[in-house]
Chains A and B, each alone.
Chain A
């Protein structure tokens, strides 16, 4: 018996020479945790493109999703303890700041832009109105650290989380290395946000032949839209993800240079991301600074409100030199009817995403 122990001891020592023993321990515990933590299925339907997000690098799990949701709705991510991500991104309105022209942050501070909707983020190439963030996992840095948003530091947020027993437990369950760090915090938020796919509107059901059909006016609207709007609001996502100047008069209060801030290029001045139009009926007000209250205002603007500013997109310059997209009042009615088919109640009312 003693000999056997001695023999085993030698075996272990030689095995340990390159720390292989530690690795094997790690493997054993990892496998156990993965078994406890259920992977979630994204269910991307046939009429959607391949995600741009590398899901394999951060596969959403039940525990990661729940942690991400808690973080998303936790005001402690802000310096004052009350402004959460969900404060400006309200589910019922496709995660926009309902009726707020520009978004509000800590102590009533006002931002300069309208909070964009959060949906189908895994298909996006970059983020924010000017594309200032090129990876979903990095996005939380901006609202957390921006003075007029959450006005907090990532370091402070991590400290708060590390001192909260519930978070310690949730990070342990969600991540193999049990660590509360920037990477895991951002990954968890991404796991929550990546599940926010809006793919179940009437439009989708018609496109996928799931028994729905457009009414006459919706059909007419689609026809006008495809002819006059779909070159920018293209495809299933209703955006070609490009940056364009759509001829809004420059608001001297903000003098927002748009994409130029990101690239430094004069040719990008006044350009903003073409937004997705999914759930557009509920995401009012419109434009990057929320200046237009209704969809009708938006269509009136494209019809008659556009002005010539630096880098105005050529698509809006007509042969006779006039600016904008000529639309009759009937066509406006038709387009609005069609856009209403992009409202996805299953998404807007999905309990998985709701705060309470």
Chain B
């Protein structure tokens, strides 16, 4: 009886081993990567509610809420080869009010030396809701980053109050996402590492990325809150905001 069990289990083990070996079995090693996002206004850490900041057009503002979605992370190595992080695990909601949301850890990345990182801002609607984007629904929903009427994500939720020559402490509100096929506000941003990033099973590198809130108003385009302080489904201004945002990220340490 005992012998039969032993023999059976041996055969079973052999089968498993053979099966395992039949798949591609290169000696690829894996490592992890940590990315820390810091939201700044110019040089200073963003402070919600308590600080008032000067902006272009002689306006001042303070921020009550800043949230945005980062997705589709791709690393490019020294040879130009790309490592595409699994899309289903690639959606992150950075929320200024939740410090731990600003530190993300990517796991099981091919060990290699990388020279740049590409991040998506928002959700690529050509893939929506496939590739796991749908499993991001509860996270987005809990933090108010989902529209109810359109089954779409808010890529950016940015709110506060502002003062201009005409108004004092008036609310402003930017809710930016994609709408239908014609208003695609998803953007991809490629950032070069300051020095080649070596990633191995024994070394988990950290990358610090700054996001400069000021640039939302003022990069490619100059936006005045006194011109428009409520920007949501807006085919003219929403694309300007995300174009500005492509200039707002900067790697400061790796």
Contact = CB atoms under 8 A, between A and B. Distances in A.
A152 B151 CA distance: 14
B20 A147 contact: no
Contact of A145 (B125, B146, B233, B234): B146
Nearest to A21: B20
B149 to A, nearest CB: 6
A142 B23 contact: no
A25 B183 CA distance: 44
B183 A264 contact: yes
B182 interface: yes
B151 A262 contact: no
A137 B23 contact: no
Given A126-B180, A183-B134, A132 B151 contact: yes
Main secondary structure on A side of the interface with B: helix
Contact of A24 (B16, B26, B138, B142): B16
B135 A142 contact: no
Given A15-B20, A145-B148, 13 more contacts: A8-B10, A12-B17, A15-B25, A20-B20, A24-B19, A25-B16, A132-B152, A139-B151, A141-B148, A182-B137, A186-B134, A263-B179, A263-B233
Interface string B15-29: 011011101011110
A183 to B, nearest CB: 4
A158 interface: yes
A133 interface: yes
Contacts of A133: 150-151
Contacts of A24: 16, 19-20, 23
Contact of A20 (B23, B146, B182, B235): B23
A24 B235 CA distance: 49
Interface string B120-155: 000001001110101111100110001011111000
Interface of B: 6, 10, 13-14, 16-17, 19-21, 23, 25-28, 125, 128-130, 132, 134-138, 141-142, 146, 148-152, 179-183, 232-235, 238
A40 interface: no
A264 B138 contact: no
A182 B150 contact: no
Interface of A: 1, 4-5, 8, 11-12, 15-18, 20-21, 23-25, 27-28, 54, 57, 126, 131-135, 137-139, 141-142, 145-147, 153-155, 158, 181-183, 186, 261-265
A138 B136 CA distance: 12
A147 B149 CA distance: 10
Contacts of A21: 16, 20
Contacts of B25: 15, 18, 20
Nearest to A127: B151
A23 B136 CA distance: 25
8 contacts: A15-B17, A21-B20, A24-B19, A135-B151, A142-B148, A146-B149, A154-B138, A183-B129
B138 A263 contact: no
B24 to A, nearest CB: 8
Nearest to A185: B134
Nearest to B178: A134
B8 to A, nearest CB: 13
A24 B152 CA distance: 37
Nearest to B236: A264
A141 B23 CA distance: 39
B21 A15 contact: yes
B234 A264 contact: yes
The 5 nearest A-B residue pairs measured at CB: A264-B233, A132-B150, A138-B151, A141-B151, A145-B148
